[in-house]
Amino acid sequence: MALTRPTLTRRGVRALAAVAVALAALTGAIVWFAGSEDRALDGACDGVLPVGDVRSVLGEDAELDVTNRTEGAFGDKAVKSGGRRANSLSVRCRIAAEGTGHIAVTIAGSPRPRAEYGYGELYDAVPASHTLPVPLGNGWSGLFATETARLDDAEDGTATTAVLLDCARRGDSLLITVETALRGATTLDDPAVRPDFVRTATATAEAANDHWGCGARLGTPVRTVGLPVNEDEYEPLLGAKGTCAAVPTASRSAVSTARETARDRAPRESCVLGMRDGSPLYRLEAYYGPYAEDARSQYTRDYDYENVTPAEKPAGRLGQSAYWAGATCPRGAESALYLIRAADADGETRRRPDLAYERAALAAFAAASAEHHGCAAPSLPEG
């Protein structure tokens, strides 16, 4: 019996064609959705985010959720207003990996404090309450800080890196801040891993420098970065070689120890002076560029009952036990700000201030910091 080949009716041909089209559309949809995450990551933060570094930190195969917002303009893309270029750039993006953590990036063009809302955004952006942030070094003007917290029996760690770019145009700058939060972050203590967090920030800074035509001098790759200085890492003040170098001891105030970091072009510097057992007595701070303006704004808000504040005068006294000094620097529209304030927990320094020592300590700290940053000799407060 001869076998006959089955034939397709016209209706069958149309049905198969419909199935083929549906399969093609489904395949296209799968390809489109699979690639949408990569496209969102490529476009994050106006396209200046280093995709490879982000995936390296959050996990190569992690499913990522990307949010992004860009407002304002900067540099050649900014709009001139009243003969001056208006730089109001604010770029924010967040890349989250479920169960792993997130990377949040902020890029600000010539950042200014939002005094009307009572925020000290730059002042508080890099954690510096219990630990001292360390400079990035390697030619970068930047800081690295870490924080840990316990949540649901797991330890979360957050590393914050800030990079300040002084643009070729006088007074313009780009501030890049990258917060990396990881779940179960024992990696923060691993010196081999910490540079990965910093590299995300420096690579973003390099791309932003080119993207917005900043023209800033860039640093070199950061291969090692230390942990922020903890409260128990104090040393004799007489042997200080970093941010506390040249600051005198004081017998009356019992100042004999110091907590410090290296002084390496950081836009914010700290030195904590303490007693023999390390108990803190005074905290010295130096602020440069937008950090200085933001600190002035915050002190103006906090001390609005004073006759003068760092916003109105280059040097002076705040409250019962606090002085400030200022210096003019070669780059940037804002001059540097230097502060000393009581840091002891029980308030003894505030009740019985050694004002002569405070002025001497501030003078030594400000002079050394200003010289390192190429600024003029500081204006100092009087007695």
Q: What is the pLDDT of the chain when averaged over all its residues?
A: 80
User: What is the rounded average pLDDT of the residues 215-237?
Assistant: 93
Residue 140: CB partners within 8 Å, gap ≥ 6? Answer: 163, 202, 205, 218, 219, 222, 265
User: Where is pLDDT greater, at 31 or 269?
Assistant: 269
Q: Does residue 247 surpass a pLDDT of 90? A: yes
3-class SS letters over 301-356: HHCCCCCCCCCCCCCEECCCCEEEEEECCCCCCCCEEEEEEECCCCCHHHHCCCHH
Q: Whole-prediction pTM value?
A: 0.82
- Using the CB atoms, write b or e for 171-200: b if 16+ within 10 Å: ebbbbbbbbbbbbebebbeeeeebbbbbbb
Interior angle at CA 169, CA 165 and CA 174, nearest 5: 25
Considering only CA atoms, which of 206, 200, 231 is closest in space to residue 101? 200
Beta strands in 16-172 (DSSP E): 64-71, 79-81, 84-86, 90-97, 101-109, 134-137, 140-151, 154-166
d(CA 177, CA 161): 6
Q: What percent of the chain has pLDDT over 70?
A: 74
Other beta carbons within 10 Å of 124 = 12
pLDDT at 357: 94
pLDDT at 24: 40
| Main-chain phi, psi angles of 84, to 5 degrees | -120, 145
User: What is the rounded average pLDDT of the residues 6-34?
Assistant: 43
Q: Which strand (E) or helix (H) includes residue 25?
A: helix 10-42
Contact by Cβ (8 Å): 352, 250 = no
Other beta carbons within 10 Å of 106 = 19
Q: What is the DSSP letter of 371?
A: H
> Which range among 35-44, 299-308, 317-326, 333-342 shows the weakest confidence by mean pLDDT?
299-308
pLDDT band at 267 (very low <50, low <70, confident <90, very high): very high
Q: Does residue 15 surpass a pLDDT of 90? A: no
Other beta carbons within 10 Å of 41 = 19
pLDDT digits (tens, 9 = 90+) for 358-371: 999 999 999 999 99
| Main-chain phi, psi angles of 259, to 5 degrees | -115, 125
pLDDT digits (tens, 9 = 90+) for 22-78: 444 444 333 333 346 678 888 999 999 999 999 989 988 889 999 999 888 886 655
The burial of 376, by beta-carbon neighbours within 10 Å (0-12 exposed, 13-18 middle, 19 or more buried), is given as middle
pLDDT digits (tens, 9 = 90+) for 87-109: 678 899 999 998 889 999 999 98
pLDDT at 372: 95
pLDDT digits (tens, 9 = 90+) for 135-160: 999 999 999 998 876 545 556 788 99
Q: What is the DSSP letter of 265?
A: S
